[in-house]
Amino acid sequence: MDTGKEIIEFTKQMLANVANIDDVIDKAIEPIKDYTDTIGDIITPIKSLIAISNLKKRITLKSFVINYANQLYSDYKINEEETLKLQNYFKDKKNITYISDIIDNAINSKSLRATAILGAIAGKVIKEKGELRYDYLSIIETLRIMTDFDIYNFIVLYEYLPIVGTSHDETDEYRTRDFYKSENPNKILLDRTSLELTIEKMKRTNGLTYSEGGIGQAGNSKGSFEIDDTSKELYRLIKTTEIIE
């Protein structure tokens, strides 16, 4: 399979059919539906579960495709010149991997908002044909594992940090225990267990990072973390990416 060619054709079709995206997606998953229709009434409950699964696929695909196309739709055309540029871009297998990775993570995301953001990122990459930086690879992986609760927690957390400050003046480290201290007049308005689950999840994909530890620092202990450039870019993308939900 020529994956680069497939991505170019997919993009052409999405731009040509963006107004009828529901029908396009329905047709894309129809073979699965047709297959299940032949199984027989004896396993109707299983067919119902498959139908539910297909509904999730449909909603997720729609979220990705609409936001992918929306990044390109207004002023982007795949004419002969642009097709040649894309073909040259996809000659580098690394670029195919980048786009494929974004699509895979978007379709398997646990949050429709994250799927929409990843769709917009994919459209932007196609349009600009740039090389993804390392921080973007971490962002893509982080968005895949985030639920809507995690996204909300992260936004509230990020905007709270300037209020509470780091654990002490000589570190960039934050600790959730400081957020909930009885003497803290500006406690964070998030459930502690939920917040710490989000933090630990994001540390695994470098959405948040942590210190090396040592005197006066907690390192990778539960609820301890630092903000880096990846965290800042993730926050910016979530807040500023215009998505259609």
pLDDT tens digits, residue range 169-192?
666 889 899 899 999 899 999 999
Query: What does the pLDDT read at residue 36?
Result: 46
| 95-118 per-position pLDDT tens digit | 888 888 898 898 889 998 999 999
pLDDT band at 35 (very low <50, low <70, confident <90, very high): very low
The whole-angstrom separation of Cα 155 and Cα 164 is 15
Look over the chain and give the mean of its residue pLDDT values, rounded to a whole number. Answer: 80
Mean pLDDT, range 220-227, rounded to an integer? 86
DSSP3 helix / strand / coil % (the chain, rounded to 5) = 70, 0, 30
User: Kindly report the CA angle at 17 between 14 and 10, in degrees rounded to 5?
Assistant: 25
Helix then strand count (H, E) for the chain reads: 11, 2
Which of these ranges, 8-22, 25-39, 70-84, 124-138, has the smallest mean pLDDT? 25-39
Beta-ladder partners of 34? none
- Domain regions of the chain by residue span: 3-132, 148-240
Nearest to 164 by CA among 145, 139, 141, 190: 190
Provide, rounded to the nearest whole percent, the portion of the chain with pLDDT above 90. 29
pLDDT band at 212 (very low <50, low <70, confident <90, very high): low
162 contacts: CB under 8 Å, gap ≥ 6: none
- Rounded to whole angstroms, what are the CA distances from 182 to 74, 124, 159, 177, 188? 53, 46, 21, 10, 12
The whole-angstrom separation of Cα 45 and Cα 227 is 47
CATH number of the domain at 148-240, please?
1.10.10
pLDDT band at 42 (very low <50, low <70, confident <90, very high): very low
User: Kindly report the CA angle at 69 between 244 and 92, in degrees rounded to 5?
Assistant: 130
Mean pLDDT, range 126-133, rounded to an integer? 83
pLDDT of 217 higher than 70: no
Beta-ladder partners of 226? 209
